[in-house]
Amino acid sequence: MPKKNFPENLKGLSVKDARRIFEFLGKSDASLQKFSEEIDEIEDSENED
């Protein structure tokens, strides 16, 4: 499953780091929630291998 809409330079980050960055950037909770869901999907697809 391809990783869509996930910037190359964020791939190495942990979910915790990514959330911290997005909060720092002042993303709305809704955007952060959507981002978190995308990360969860990516992690799920990586764990299937």
The pLDDT score that the predictor gives to residue 22 is 73
CA 13, distance to chain mean position in Å, is 9
Q: What is the mean pLDDT of each run of 10 residues along the chain (49 residues)?
A: 58 76 70 77 76
Q: Which residues of 17-40 are buried (b: 16+ CB within 10 A; e: fewer)?
A: ebbeebeeeeeeeeebeebeeebe
pTM > 0.85:
no
